[in-house]
Amino acid sequence: MGMFRFTLHLPVRAHRLTHRCIHGAFGMALVFAAHGIAAQEPPGLDNAMIVANAWLAQADTDQIDAMWQGSGTVLQKNVSKGAWHKYLLGLRRQYGEAKNRQWLEVERITNPSGLPPGEYLNVVYSTAYANASMLETVSLVHGESGWMPVGFIMRPLQQTPLAQRAPAAR
């Protein structure tokens, strides 16, 4: 299983999603292999970012049904429209409105275990919500019509207080 990782390093310490993460609202799993960083970006990365950003914009404006309808069959077969609506409304109630979102990392996964064969991307964001800072991951699959969203998760953003960081090398 091949993997591509292009990372933009920001001054925020975020958990790296490198071994095994659960993707999608209810357990779609993508398995990442630690094969290092490639020197080139995958074809269509710009289009994938446009799709991921547009999908999150729909979440930010409560267009939850449109998100589900615009998602790939991997998500639609595993999560009903009603369950998707309940999941995203629950996140909105818990964390509040998105205030600021920054792209952190894109990971490419080829033929992940437990999912149909193909090219997948995970686009990871650091997002400040009204009530918490979170890592958001949008999972996409490449199909005949381009990149399609197939999963979304949020996890707390872990930041290490300045006093607990290792001292700089002298």
CA angle 16, 7, 166 (to 5 degrees): 55
State the pTM of this model.
0.71
Domain ranges of the chain: 3-9+16-35+46-158
**Class of the CATH-defined domain 3-9+16-35+46-158:** alpha beta
DSSP 110-135: ES-TTS-SSEEEEEEEEEEESS-EEE
pLDDT tens, position by position, 16-28: 333 223 333 333 3
Distances (CA, A) of 45 to 8, 16, 76, 77, 147: 14, 20, 23, 26, 9
- Average the pLDDT over 108-122 and give the result: 93
The per-residue pLDDT for 91 is: 94
pLDDT at 49 > cutoff 60? yes
- Average the pLDDT over 33-57 and give the result: 68
